[in-house]
Amino acid sequence: MVRTCISGSVDNSDTVAGFVIVLACVVAGVLIRALVKPRRDAETRCRKCGYILRGLVEPRCSECGEAI
């Protein structure tokens, strides 16, 4: 809501407060996303291609050939 003071100027304090709150939420979201590592599943995966390494018979990724 825009209010006009006795002097005729416009009071935008509600708009500024809303903008500051939205900006603080965006900054907090970016910081949390940057600081929290995404969880990966418990499977051991190849560093090169991400293939699940369960049940291998030799120490090499069967998908891309990367040494384990």
30-57 pLDDT tens trace: 988 888 876 666 788 899 999 999 889 8
- Residue 65 CA, chain-centre distance (Å), reads 32
pLDDT value of residue 40: 63
- Residue 68 CA, chain-centre distance (Å), reads 30
Q: Is the dihedral of CA 23, 25, 26, 31 positive or negative?
A: positive
pTM of the model: 0.43
Which residue ranges make up each domain of the chain?
A: 3-35, 40-68
pLDDT confidence tier of residue 16, bands split at 50, 70 and 90? confident
Instruction: Tell me the HSE value of 17 on the side-chain side, using a 13 A CA sphere.
Output: 6
pLDDT value of residue 48: 93
